[in-house]
Amino acid sequence: KILIDLREIHSRLGLTLIHVTHDPEEAMANADKILLMNRGTIEQLDTPMGIFNRPKNKFVAEFFQNSNLVESVVESYEGDWVIVANQFGKFAVLARAEKPRRGKEVCIVIRHDKAKLSTSEETQNRLEGNVIGQEIVGAVITYIVALDDQKVFKFQTHMSLDTPNFQPNARISLTWNPEDAILLP
């Protein structure tokens, strides 16, 4: 109720309000701009959608707990694509800025809602693992997939879609579009 009242006051009087919170969902729902700090250092100042869609670094990507981060090494380039390698294979990521040098350690970020079930036709950006759990919030199901003994990968689907309901230990393949991944230094 207080947040609704503050938004109404902000709208009616045109006042600038500063709301301090540690709750990512509260910040996303109520802010026009978010200033995300880490131990007194500004990590990113942007709109909620800007931070959500274009995190500037690993801290920002991890803060909203909606992304998979996979440590990788730059292997090569194919046009605008950066090809990275890690223990799970080789993956293509669209270079949105300056291309990092070959051999550089980077991190690829894939939001949970950008990963999807892979069909047998897809070979690029494909991972395999076993379903080890699920989280249901409203009509959204987040599946937790073990890629190995230490790394998990999450993907989200909506109950209204024709996604099968996976049982624990089900073996699945996941993929994502290269332009949906983000490359972080």
The fraction of the chain above a pLDDT of 70, given in percent, is 100
**Chain position carrying tokens 């009616």:** 12
**Residue 148 binned pLDDT confidence (cut-offs 50, 70, 90):** confident
pLDDT digits (tens, 9 = 90+) for 85-131: 999 999 999 887 788 899 999 999 999 999 988 877 777 899 999 99
pLDDT digits (tens, 9 = 90+) for 56-94: 999 999 998 889 999 999 999 988 899 999 999 999 998
**Residue 139 binned pLDDT confidence (cut-offs 50, 70, 90):** very high
Q: Name 71's bridge partners.
A: 107
Residue 95, pLDDT score: 82
pTM for the model stands at 0.84
What spatial distance separates the first Cα and last Cα of the chain, rounded to whole Å?
Answer: 41
**pLDDT greater at residue 33 or residue 95:** 33
Query: Whole-angstrom Cα distance, residue 66 to residue 77?
Result: 28
User: Going along the chain, which residue ranges are E strands?
Assistant: 34-38, 41-46, 67-78, 81-86, 89-94, 105-111, 116-117, 126-137, 140-146, 152-158, 171-175, 182-184
∠ CA 39-42-47, nearest 5°, is 130
Tokens of 142: 């987040």
For residue 131, how far is the Cα from the chain centroid? 19
**Is residue 155 predicted with pLDDT exceeding 80?**
yes
